Amino acid sequence: MQTSDLEAFEAEWQKMLDGEVYDAVHPEFLRRLAATREKLWEFNTIHPSEAGRQKEILRSLLGAVGEPFHVNPPFRCDYGCNISIGRNFFANFNLTILDEALVKIGDNVFIGPNVSIYTACHPLDATDRNTGAEWAEPVSIGDSVWIGGGATVLPGVSVGDRSVVGAGSVVTRDVPADVLVAGNPARIIKKLR
């Protein structure tokens, strides 16, 4: 990549991280997505007896990783480098994280199977959407959170410490600490403290 192309890409990457509209179909975005998929293919197809190699792959892919951690394959993400996980992290099968913006996950977080965490946003207008314009909003998951199976966390959401997201929930807005939320859209069912 030439210097001017690299500078143009870096400007688009920074727009993505800053929550501004950016060109998601820039060739370097597509190259990085492909490189991530290569690592994920290896992670998702490696023999279960090679758990150490699986952890090495995730350490090389993710932005920050606390110890200990465990992620059951399959796992999917867009870039990986925008994801940080804290200590004592557990994710069950089929976790998907679209990490165009930063995704920060605290310590002692447990994620059930088939959970999706999204940061990517697209224009409602089809003409704008078809240009490849996109923006992203960060997601933050606090310490000691449990996200039940099949839940979806949408862009821009923060989940407070010690909260529980019920199975199958769609989290569309911030969740305070110490509550159980459930439903579509998720709403507070009860306080936990």
> What is the domain extent for residue 81?
3-191
pLDDT in tens, 142-183: 999 999 999 999 999 999 999 999 999 999 999 999 999 999
Nearest in space to 169 (alpha carbons), one of 157, 181, 179, 155: 181
Number of domains in the chain: 1
pLDDT in tens, 29-75: 999 999 999 999 999 999 999 999 999 999 999 999 999 999 999 99
What is the domain-level CATH number for residue 120? 2.160.10.10
185: preceding bond cis by omega (within 30 degrees): yes
Distances (CA, A) of 55 to 31, 74, 79, 101, 150: 23, 13, 17, 23, 24
Which of the residues 26, 47, 70, 122 is marked catalytic?
122
Please indicate whether residue 122 is annotated as part of the active site.
yes
